[in-house]
Amino acid sequence: MTDRERAERLARNEARWRELNAELERGLAAIERDADERAAFVCECGRPDCTEIVKLPLDAYQRAHEHDKHFVVRPGHEFLDVERVIEETEEYFVVEKRDVGRVPEIVERDNH
């Protein structure tokens, strides 16, 4: 598998988890919550078998997803050859996909 194919496969996996989390976010947004209360989301990493939970405030999750190329992952679940860490906490990282192959098209199409 080429680097480009790998990057595209990881992007598809991450976009799939992000879409599931978007459904959770819509449900959570309708519930009154404390601003610092943490919500549980599925890790949006590119690992096809990952089902780990990431907990973060809803507004932090929403801020991270203002950009199509951003994903919320568990620490240690980043793929530095195809993404860069743009925010780090003890419980989660926000990563940004690099423009490799069709990655921008995949994350934009699958996110809308």
For the chain, 112 residues long, the average pLDDT of each consecutive 10-residue run is: 70 71 66 71 88 90 88 94 92 86 54 46
CA gap 18, 70 in Å, rounded = 10
Task: Check: CB of residue 22 under 8 Å from CB of residue 94.
Answer: no
pTM flag (> 0.75): no
Task: Check: CB of residue 56 under 8 Å from CB of residue 91.
Answer: yes
